[in-house]
Homo-oligomer: A and B are copies of this chain.
Amino acid sequence: DDYKDIPRGTAIFKDFVIWGYPHIGRIFLLETGLKEQFESPFWVEEKVDGYNTRIFKYGDNYYALSRGGFICPFTTDRLPDLIDLRILDENPDLVICAEVAGPENPYIEESPPYVKEDVKLFVFDFMRKNDQKFLSQEEKMELIERYNLPHVEVLGKFTTSEEDIRKIKEILKRFNEEGREGVVFKEDSERNKRAKYITSYANLMDIKTNTKNMLQLPPEYYTNRILRLVLFMYEEGLERTEHLYEELGRAFIDGIFKAIEQFEKEHKVYKTFTCKFRKKENAIALLELLSKTSKHIQVKERRLEKEGDYWRLEFDKVFLNMTGLLGHLLSGGIVYD
Protein backbone atom coordinates (compact mmCIF):
# COMPACT_ATOMS: atom_id res chain seq x y z
CA ASP A 1 0.00 0.00 0.00
CA ASP A 2 1.05 3.65 0.21
CA TYR A 3 4.35 4.14 2.01
CA LYS A 4 4.70 7.55 3.63
CA ASP A 5 4.35 10.00 0.71
CA ILE A 6 4.96 7.41 -1.99
CA PRO A 7 1.70 6.12 -3.45
CA ARG A 8 1.27 2.39 -3.99
CA GLY A 9 2.25 1.36 -7.49
CA THR A 10 5.18 3.73 -7.89
CA ALA A 11 7.71 2.04 -10.18
CA ILE A 12 11.38 2.92 -10.32
CA PHE A 13 13.38 2.39 -13.51
CA LYS A 14 17.01 3.12 -14.30
CA ASP A 15 16.32 6.49 -15.92
CA PHE A 16 12.99 7.56 -14.46
CA VAL A 17 10.24 7.00 -11.93
CA ILE A 18 6.59 6.44 -12.71
CA TRP A 19 4.49 7.57 -9.82
CA GLY A 20 1.64 5.44 -8.55
CA TYR A 21 -1.86 6.48 -9.52
CA PRO A 22 -3.21 8.17 -6.38
CA HIS A 23 -6.29 6.93 -4.54
CA ILE A 24 -9.37 9.00 -5.26
CA GLY A 25 -11.56 9.58 -2.22
CA ARG A 26 -15.20 8.70 -2.28
CA ILE A 27 -18.18 10.83 -1.29
CA PHE A 28 -21.16 8.97 0.15
CA LEU A 29 -23.67 11.81 -0.17
CA LEU A 30 -23.75 13.40 -3.59
CA GLU A 31 -25.12 16.87 -2.93
CA THR A 32 -23.55 17.53 0.47
CA GLY A 33 -20.32 15.91 -0.65
CA LEU A 34 -19.90 17.99 -3.81
CA LYS A 35 -20.70 21.20 -1.96
CA GLU A 36 -18.23 20.34 0.77
CA GLN A 37 -15.39 19.20 -1.47
CA PHE A 38 -15.40 21.53 -4.48
CA GLU A 39 -14.68 25.24 -4.60
CA SER A 40 -14.57 25.70 -8.38
CA PRO A 41 -16.34 24.11 -11.34
CA PHE A 42 -15.38 20.49 -11.89
CA TRP A 43 -15.39 18.01 -14.73
CA VAL A 44 -17.54 14.92 -14.50
CA GLU A 45 -16.17 11.80 -16.17
CA GLU A 46 -17.41 8.24 -16.24
CA LYS A 47 -15.67 5.83 -13.88
CA VAL A 48 -15.32 2.69 -15.99
CA ASP A 49 -15.50 -0.65 -14.19
CA GLY A 50 -12.20 -2.26 -15.13
CA TYR A 51 -8.66 -2.17 -13.89
CA ASN A 52 -6.27 0.76 -13.74
CA THR A 53 -3.13 0.82 -15.85
CA ARG A 54 -0.31 3.25 -16.67
CA ILE A 55 1.32 3.01 -20.09
CA PHE A 56 4.77 4.34 -20.97
CA LYS A 57 7.65 3.90 -23.40
CA TYR A 58 10.98 2.51 -22.26
CA GLY A 59 13.68 2.27 -24.92
CA ASP A 60 11.89 1.07 -28.03
CA ASN A 61 9.16 -0.76 -26.17
CA TYR A 62 5.82 0.09 -24.60
CA TYR A 63 4.79 -1.23 -21.21
CA ALA A 64 1.66 -1.21 -19.09
CA LEU A 65 1.90 -1.11 -15.30
CA SER A 66 -0.73 -2.60 -13.03
CA ARG A 67 -2.15 -0.47 -10.22
CA GLY A 68 0.29 -2.18 -7.87
CA GLY A 69 3.32 -1.26 -9.99
CA PHE A 70 4.02 -4.58 -11.71
CA ILE A 71 4.42 -4.82 -15.47
CA CYS A 72 1.12 -6.37 -16.53
CA PRO A 73 1.83 -9.09 -19.13
CA PHE A 74 -1.74 -9.06 -20.43
CA THR A 75 -2.14 -5.32 -20.95
CA THR A 76 1.39 -4.95 -22.28
CA ASP A 77 0.77 -7.77 -24.76
CA ARG A 78 -2.47 -6.28 -26.02
CA LEU A 79 -1.42 -2.61 -26.25
CA PRO A 80 -1.30 -2.57 -30.08
CA ASP A 81 -4.97 -3.65 -30.14
CA LEU A 82 -6.07 -1.17 -27.53
CA ILE A 83 -4.50 2.17 -28.40
CA ASP A 84 -2.45 3.93 -31.05
CA LEU A 85 0.86 4.58 -29.30
CA ARG A 86 2.39 7.10 -31.72
CA ILE A 87 1.62 9.59 -28.96
CA LEU A 88 4.42 8.03 -26.89
CA ASP A 89 6.87 8.14 -29.81
CA GLU A 90 6.29 11.85 -30.18
CA ASN A 91 6.03 12.47 -26.40
CA PRO A 92 8.23 9.82 -24.77
CA ASP A 93 7.96 11.43 -21.33
CA LEU A 94 4.19 10.97 -21.21
CA VAL A 95 2.48 8.34 -19.07
CA ILE A 96 -1.03 7.37 -20.15
CA CYS A 97 -3.43 6.55 -17.30
CA ALA A 98 -6.30 4.40 -18.47
CA GLU A 99 -8.90 1.83 -17.47
CA VAL A 100 -9.00 -1.50 -19.29
CA ALA A 101 -12.41 -3.13 -19.11
CA GLY A 102 -14.45 -5.88 -20.68
CA PRO A 103 -15.60 -9.45 -20.18
CA GLU A 104 -12.27 -10.98 -21.22
CA ASN A 105 -9.82 -9.60 -18.71
CA PRO A 106 -7.83 -11.70 -16.25
CA TYR A 107 -8.51 -9.63 -13.13
CA ILE A 108 -12.13 -8.77 -12.46
CA GLU A 109 -15.48 -10.34 -13.24
CA GLU A 110 -17.38 -7.10 -13.65
CA SER A 111 -17.35 -5.26 -16.95
CA PRO A 112 -19.20 -2.27 -18.37
CA PRO A 113 -22.38 -3.09 -20.32
CA TYR A 114 -21.14 -1.51 -23.54
CA VAL A 115 -18.01 -3.66 -23.88
CA LYS A 116 -19.51 -6.84 -25.28
CA GLU A 117 -16.36 -8.88 -25.90
CA ASP A 118 -12.61 -8.89 -25.27
CA VAL A 119 -11.44 -5.66 -23.60
CA LYS A 120 -11.31 -1.99 -24.48
CA LEU A 121 -9.12 0.78 -23.14
CA PHE A 122 -10.31 4.18 -21.89
CA VAL A 123 -7.83 6.99 -21.25
CA PHE A 124 -8.68 9.26 -18.32
CA ASP A 125 -5.44 11.03 -17.37
CA PHE A 126 -1.88 11.81 -18.38
CA MET A 127 1.16 12.13 -16.17
CA ARG A 128 4.79 12.71 -17.07
CA LYS A 129 7.68 10.51 -16.04
CA ASN A 130 9.24 11.67 -12.75
CA ASP A 131 6.23 13.85 -12.07
CA GLN A 132 3.34 13.17 -9.71
CA LYS A 133 1.04 15.82 -11.23
CA PHE A 134 -1.61 15.19 -13.85
CA LEU A 135 -1.88 17.18 -17.05
CA SER A 136 -4.79 19.64 -17.01
CA GLN A 137 -8.15 18.70 -18.48
CA GLU A 138 -7.45 20.98 -21.48
CA GLU A 139 -4.07 19.44 -22.22
CA LYS A 140 -5.57 15.99 -21.80
CA MET A 141 -8.48 16.57 -24.17
CA GLU A 142 -6.15 18.20 -26.67
CA LEU A 143 -3.90 15.09 -26.72
CA ILE A 144 -6.86 12.72 -26.86
CA GLU A 145 -8.21 14.56 -29.88
CA ARG A 146 -4.91 15.01 -31.66
CA TYR A 147 -4.08 11.29 -31.40
CA ASN A 148 -7.66 10.09 -31.58
CA LEU A 149 -7.36 8.07 -28.38
CA PRO A 150 -10.16 6.00 -26.82
CA HIS A 151 -11.22 7.70 -23.61
CA VAL A 152 -13.78 7.67 -20.84
CA GLU A 153 -16.96 9.63 -21.45
CA VAL A 154 -16.61 13.23 -20.32
CA LEU A 155 -20.02 14.44 -19.26
CA GLY A 156 -19.14 18.10 -18.99
CA LYS A 157 -18.14 20.81 -16.56
CA PHE A 158 -20.48 21.41 -13.65
CA THR A 159 -20.83 23.49 -10.52
CA THR A 160 -22.67 22.84 -7.26
CA SER A 161 -25.69 24.92 -8.32
CA GLU A 162 -29.11 23.34 -7.76
CA GLU A 163 -29.48 23.03 -11.51
CA ASP A 164 -26.16 21.23 -11.97
CA ILE A 165 -26.66 18.91 -8.99
CA ARG A 166 -29.98 17.93 -10.54
CA LYS A 167 -28.21 17.19 -13.84
CA ILE A 168 -25.52 15.12 -12.13
CA LYS A 169 -28.15 13.13 -10.27
CA GLU A 170 -29.87 12.44 -13.57
CA ILE A 171 -26.63 11.21 -15.09
CA LEU A 172 -26.09 8.89 -12.14
CA LYS A 173 -29.67 7.66 -12.30
CA ARG A 174 -29.15 6.79 -15.96
CA PHE A 175 -25.75 5.18 -15.25
CA ASN A 176 -27.37 3.11 -12.50
CA GLU A 177 -30.07 1.86 -14.86
CA GLU A 178 -27.51 1.09 -17.54
CA GLY A 179 -25.34 -0.87 -15.10
CA ARG A 180 -22.41 1.54 -15.13
CA GLU A 181 -20.10 2.02 -12.18
CA GLY A 182 -20.12 5.72 -11.40
CA VAL A 183 -18.35 9.00 -12.00
CA VAL A 184 -15.18 10.84 -11.06
CA PHE A 185 -15.26 14.55 -10.29
CA LYS A 186 -12.15 16.57 -11.19
CA GLU A 187 -11.95 20.18 -10.12
CA ASP A 188 -10.86 22.49 -12.94
CA SER A 189 -8.29 24.31 -10.81
CA GLU A 190 -4.65 24.35 -9.82
CA ARG A 191 -5.24 21.98 -6.88
CA ASN A 192 -7.14 19.60 -9.18
CA LYS A 193 -9.19 18.15 -6.31
CA ARG A 194 -10.86 14.83 -7.09
CA ALA A 195 -13.61 12.61 -5.72
CA LYS A 196 -15.69 9.70 -6.95
CA TYR A 197 -19.24 8.50 -6.52
CA ILE A 198 -20.45 4.96 -7.19
CA THR A 199 -23.94 3.87 -8.28
CA SER A 200 -26.06 1.51 -6.16
CA TYR A 201 -25.90 -0.91 -9.05
CA ALA A 202 -22.12 -1.13 -8.72
CA ASN A 203 -22.24 -1.37 -4.92
CA LEU A 204 -24.60 -4.33 -5.16
CA MET A 205 -22.57 -5.97 -7.94
CA ASP A 206 -19.44 -5.66 -5.80
CA ILE A 207 -21.18 -7.53 -3.01
CA LYS A 208 -22.56 -10.18 -5.35
CA THR A 209 -19.49 -10.89 -7.46
CA ASN A 210 -17.15 -11.04 -4.49
CA THR A 211 -18.96 -13.58 -2.34
CA LYS A 212 -16.78 -16.47 -3.50
CA ASN A 213 -13.88 -14.47 -2.20
CA MET A 214 -15.65 -13.12 0.89
CA LEU A 215 -13.42 -14.76 3.45
CA GLN A 216 -10.39 -12.80 2.19
CA LEU A 217 -11.98 -9.39 1.92
CA PRO A 218 -10.92 -6.68 4.36
CA PRO A 219 -13.38 -6.28 7.25
CA GLU A 220 -14.68 -2.95 6.00
CA TYR A 221 -15.49 -4.28 2.52
CA TYR A 222 -19.12 -5.06 3.27
CA THR A 223 -19.79 -2.43 5.91
CA ASN A 224 -18.54 0.24 3.50
CA ARG A 225 -20.76 -0.87 0.64
CA ILE A 226 -23.79 -1.22 2.85
CA LEU A 227 -23.19 2.26 4.26
CA ARG A 228 -22.95 3.67 0.73
CA LEU A 229 -26.23 2.04 -0.16
CA VAL A 230 -28.00 3.30 2.94
CA LEU A 231 -26.70 6.83 2.46
CA PHE A 232 -27.97 6.72 -1.11
CA MET A 233 -31.40 5.66 0.19
CA TYR A 234 -31.19 8.38 2.82
CA GLU A 235 -30.38 11.04 0.22
CA GLU A 236 -32.98 9.90 -2.32
CA GLY A 237 -35.75 9.05 0.14
CA LEU A 238 -36.91 5.62 1.24
CA GLU A 239 -40.05 5.54 -0.90
CA ARG A 240 -38.02 5.67 -4.07
CA THR A 241 -35.42 3.15 -2.98
CA GLU A 242 -37.42 0.47 -1.17
CA HIS A 243 -36.53 -2.13 -3.78
CA LEU A 244 -32.97 -2.05 -2.45
CA TYR A 245 -33.96 -4.00 0.67
CA GLU A 246 -34.53 -7.13 -1.33
CA GLU A 247 -31.72 -6.41 -3.77
CA LEU A 248 -29.20 -6.17 -0.96
CA GLY A 249 -30.39 -9.47 0.50
CA ARG A 250 -30.19 -11.06 -2.95
CA ALA A 251 -26.70 -9.73 -3.57
CA PHE A 252 -25.43 -11.57 -0.50
CA ILE A 253 -27.53 -14.70 -0.70
CA ASP A 254 -27.42 -15.47 -4.43
CA GLY A 255 -23.64 -15.31 -4.56
CA ILE A 256 -23.25 -17.77 -1.69
CA PHE A 257 -25.94 -20.02 -3.13
CA LYS A 258 -24.01 -20.24 -6.38
CA ALA A 259 -20.85 -21.06 -4.47
CA ILE A 260 -22.68 -23.88 -2.63
CA GLU A 261 -24.11 -25.29 -5.86
CA GLN A 262 -20.69 -25.19 -7.47
CA PHE A 263 -19.12 -26.90 -4.49
CA GLU A 264 -21.77 -29.64 -4.48
CA LYS A 265 -21.09 -30.36 -8.15
CA GLU A 266 -17.34 -29.88 -8.39
CA HIS A 267 -16.03 -29.91 -4.82
CA LYS A 268 -14.39 -26.55 -5.19
CA VAL A 269 -15.36 -22.90 -5.41
CA TYR A 270 -13.81 -21.11 -8.35
CA LYS A 271 -14.30 -18.64 -11.17
CA THR A 272 -13.21 -19.14 -14.75
CA PHE A 273 -11.49 -16.30 -16.60
CA THR A 274 -10.60 -16.10 -20.24
CA CYS A 275 -8.53 -13.66 -22.25
CA LYS A 276 -6.44 -13.64 -25.39
CA PHE A 277 -2.81 -12.78 -26.05
CA ARG A 278 -0.67 -12.00 -29.07
CA LYS A 279 2.29 -13.90 -27.61
CA LYS A 280 2.16 -17.20 -25.77
CA GLU A 281 4.93 -16.23 -23.34
CA ASN A 282 2.87 -13.34 -22.03
CA ALA A 283 0.02 -15.69 -21.15
CA ILE A 284 2.46 -17.84 -19.19
CA ALA A 285 3.91 -14.77 -17.49
CA LEU A 286 0.42 -13.67 -16.46
CA LEU A 287 -0.36 -17.03 -14.85
CA GLU A 288 2.90 -16.84 -12.93
CA LEU A 289 2.18 -13.32 -11.76
CA LEU A 290 -1.32 -14.26 -10.59
CA SER A 291 -0.03 -17.34 -8.76
CA LYS A 292 2.62 -15.31 -6.99
CA THR A 293 0.40 -12.47 -5.86
CA SER A 294 -2.26 -14.35 -3.86
CA LYS A 295 -1.73 -17.15 -1.42
CA HIS A 296 -5.48 -17.60 -0.90
CA ILE A 297 -6.19 -18.27 -4.55
CA GLN A 298 -4.96 -21.18 -6.59
CA VAL A 299 -4.56 -20.42 -10.30
CA LYS A 300 -5.22 -23.37 -12.60
CA GLU A 301 -4.71 -23.26 -16.35
CA ARG A 302 -7.57 -24.82 -18.31
CA ARG A 303 -6.30 -24.26 -21.83
CA LEU A 304 -3.82 -22.16 -23.78
CA GLU A 305 -4.30 -22.63 -27.50
CA LYS A 306 -3.70 -20.84 -30.75
CA GLU A 307 -6.97 -19.28 -31.95
CA GLY A 308 -6.53 -17.36 -35.21
CA ASP A 309 -3.81 -14.77 -34.67
CA TYR A 310 -4.10 -14.97 -30.88
CA TRP A 311 -3.43 -17.35 -28.01
CA ARG A 312 -6.58 -18.10 -26.08
CA LEU A 313 -5.98 -18.54 -22.34
CA GLU A 314 -8.61 -19.99 -20.02
CA PHE A 315 -7.90 -20.43 -16.33
CA ASP A 316 -9.64 -20.86 -12.97
CA LYS A 317 -9.13 -18.98 -9.77
CA VAL A 318 -9.90 -21.45 -7.00
CA PHE A 319 -10.89 -19.77 -3.74
CA LEU A 320 -9.17 -21.96 -1.19
CA ASN A 321 -10.69 -20.57 2.01
CA MET A 322 -14.26 -20.67 0.71
CA THR A 323 -13.70 -24.15 -0.70
CA GLY A 324 -12.38 -25.30 2.66
CA LEU A 325 -15.12 -23.69 4.72
CA LEU A 326 -17.99 -24.94 2.55
CA GLY A 327 -16.48 -28.42 2.49
CA HIS A 328 -16.39 -28.35 6.28
CA LEU A 329 -19.90 -26.92 6.74
CA LEU A 330 -21.65 -29.02 4.11
CA SER A 331 -20.32 -32.22 5.65
CA GLY A 332 -21.80 -31.17 9.00
CA GLY A 333 -18.66 -29.67 10.52
CA ILE A 334 -18.58 -27.51 13.62
CA VAL A 335 -17.35 -23.91 13.74
CA TYR A 336 -16.13 -22.16 16.88
CA ASP A 337 -16.78 -18.44 16.64
Contacts and interface: CB of A to CB of B under 8 A. Distances in A.
A107 interface: no
Nearest to A196: B334
Nearest to A337: B224
B332 A34 contact: yes
A238 B258 CA distance: 13
Contact of A25 (B226, B260, B334): B334
Given A35-B332, A37-B334, A230-B256, 5 more contacts: A26-B337, A29-B332, A32-B331, A214-B223, A246-B246
22 contacts: A25-B335, A28-B329, A29-B330, A33-B332, A33-B333, A33-B334, A36-B331, A36-B332, A36-B333, A219-B219, A220-B337, A222-B222, A224-B335, A226-B253, A230-B252, A230-B257, A234-B257, A245-B253, A247-B249, A248-B248, A248-B252, A249-B250
Contact of A244 (B218, B222, B233, B253): B253
A86 interface: no
A223 B325 CA distance: 12
Main secondary structure of the interface of A (DSSP, over half): helix
Interface string A309-337: 00000000000000001000111111111
Interface in A93-124: none
Number of copies: 2
Contacts of A35: 332
Interface string A258-288: 0010000000000000000000000000000
Contacts of A34: 332
A329 B214 contact: no
Interface residues of A, number: 52
B249 A329 contact: no
A256 B226 contact: yes
A250 B285 CA distance: 46
Interface of A: 23, 25-29, 32-37, 195, 214-215, 217-220, 222-224, 226-227, 229-231, 233-234, 238, 244-250, 252-253, 256-257, 260, 325, 329-337
B256 A227 contact: yes
Contacts of A37: 332, 334
Contact of A329 (B217, B227, B238, B330): B227
Contact of A226 (B27, B29, B33, B252): B252
A327 to B, nearest CB: 12
A307 B215 CA distance: 49
